[in-house]
Amino acid sequence: MVRSKFLASLIFSLVIIALSVAWMPVPDASAADPNTFNRLMKPPSKRNPPPTQDGIHDPGSIGTQGLQTPREAFKPLPQGQSGNYVDWVKAFDAKKIQPRFDSKDPKAKPVIMDLTIVRQVKGSMPDVIFPHKQHTEWLDCSNCHPVPFVPQKGANQMSMASIMLGESCGVCHGKVAFPVADCRRCHTEAKGKATKTSAKAAAKPAVSKKK
Amino acid sequence: MALTLCKRIMVLGLTIVSLVLLTQNVSHAEYGDVVMNKYSDDSGIRPVVFPHWFHRIRFRCKVCHADLGFKFKAGGNDINMLKIIDGEYCGACHNGDIAWSVENCDLCHSAKPKTPTQVHESTLQKLIRPAGAPK
């Protein structure tokens, strides 16, 4: 008797679930309370979840359960402001990570080019300093030249809009390298200082070699 | 009778939990995770999730994007299992020598079925859209 009642209520709730699924329009987590915090933003507590909870991996797959969790891997690494919330450049400089330069040869070393490029920008934003050094530590020249960047001064027009759409710097920044909302990591050179640099740069090209 | 009530409460609780779970259809995967689903769904296997973060701890960008020829574009590389077992693309390392071999299907093919090809958390994905707008 007790069992049949239990079964009946189980069936009843299953029917309720089925009906709610059928009647639910678009899943909307904010439907309960329209004025919740972080309505459209991922709150800090939801950062770097394990693969089984990240919404992309299939939690039912045995493979998913075998994968390393980001939090475990990121624990010894310096924290960043955005993206993976890891400062990859700092992690690299501090030798917290030692990524191979060659798939087979763990001792292969890159040729580092220590050349900074000043890009004067419109509006109130500080000018952009592009450091070849950090980029050549990770990449090969052919990754950026001649596509998407022609290796010639003044030959590369770009805008934040095109970057956000995935062109020029946006090929990596905003996808894997630090996101475009980290404005000050590129826009670093104060305007006044840049004017001085550019006065010098008028005689010489706006490419300065750093020692 | 008290037991039945207890069970009823349990069932009601289960119902609520499943409803809450059903309404949380939001992805929180890692920045830079790439989902590859050019052929997977059609071939009846889960799409691939490529974790950039895991690989950049071990290799510089150049290894895959210059030496192995991966283009900087999700969906821009025509990768299939034949090429992989012949040592191209993922197969350059996933050969049982540098990294685990291809028989571990589930470790790569781990995405929820029907997940479209994408770079997860990319700028365009993160732009705030009205609810129900096409993604």
- Rounded to two decimals, the ipTM of the complex is 0.77
Contacts of B68 in chain A (CB under 8 A): 103
Residue A10 near chain B (CB below 8 Å):
yes
**Least CB–CB distance from A56: residue in B19, B60, B112:** B112
Nearest residue on chain A to B64, judged by CA atoms?
A: A103
Give domain status of residue B121, yes or no: yes
Residue A102 near chain B (CB below 8 Å):
yes
Taking CB atoms and an 8 Å limit, are B12 and A84 in contact across chains? no
Strand partners, B119: B34
In total, chain B counts a number of residues equal to 135
Sequence-ordered list of residues with C-beta below 8 angstroms from that of A42, at least 6 positions apart, any chain: B28
Contacts of B41 in chain A (CB under 8 A): none
The residue segments making up the domain with residue B48 are 34-126
CA distance linking residue A17 with residue A23, whole number of Å: 10
For the stretch A174-178, contacts whose Cβ atoms lie closer than 8 Å and that sit 24 or more positions apart, written own/partner, are A174/B122, A174/B123, A174/B124, A175/B32, A175/B72, A175/B119, A175/B122, A175/B123, A176/B31, A176/B32, A176/B52, A176/B56, A176/B61, A176/B119, A177/A83, A177/A88, A178/A80, A178/A81, A178/A82, A178/A83, A178/A88
Cis omega (within 30 of 0) on the bond before A76?
Answer: no
Give domain status of residue B2, yes or no: no
Give domain status of residue B118, yes or no: yes
> What is the value of pTM for the model shown?
0.78
Give domain status of residue B16, yes or no: no
Give domain status of residue B79, yes or no: yes
Q: Domain tally for chain B?
A: 1
Tens of pLDDT, residue by residue over B50-81, are 999 999 999 999 999 999 999 999 999 999 99
Contacting A residues, span 38-97, partner chain B, CB-CB under 8 Å: 40, 42, 46-49, 51, 53-58, 61-64, 66-68, 70, 73-74, 82-84, 86, 88, 97
Map tokens 């929820």 to a residue: B112
Q: What pLDDT sits at residue B78?
A: 97
Give domain status of residue B21, yes or no: no
Contacting A residues, span 123-142, partner chain B, CB-CB under 8 Å: 137-140, 142
**Least CB–CB distance from B28: residue in A42, A101, A142:** A42
Rounded percentage of chain B residues whose pLDDT exceeds 90: 68
- pLDDT by 10s per residue, chain A, length 211: 556 776 677 676 666 666 555 555 555 554 678 898 888 888 888 899 999 999 999 999 999 999 999 999 999 999 999 999 999 999 999 999 999 999 999 999 999 999 999 999 988 999 999 999 999 999 999 999 999 999 998 899 999 999 999 999 999 999 999 999 999 999 999 886 644 444 444 334 334 444 3
CB B32 within 8 A of CB B120: yes
Q: Identify from A53, A84, A112, A135 which residue to disrupt to test chain B contact, counting B C-beta atoms within 10 A and taking the largest count.
A: A84
Give domain status of residue B6, yes or no: no
Give domain status of residue B93, yes or no: yes
Residue A100 near chain B (CB below 8 Å):
yes
CB A78 within 8 A of CB A86: yes
Q: Identify from B53, B117, B129 which residue to disrupt to test chain A contact, counting A C-beta atoms within 10 A and taking the largest count.
A: B53
**What CATH number is given to the structural domain containing B47?**
3.90.10.10
Map tokens 């797959």 to a residue: A61
Contacts of B116 in chain A (CB under 8 A): none
Three-class secondary structure of residue B62 per DSSP:
helix
Report the Cα A89 to chain-centroid distance in Å: 13
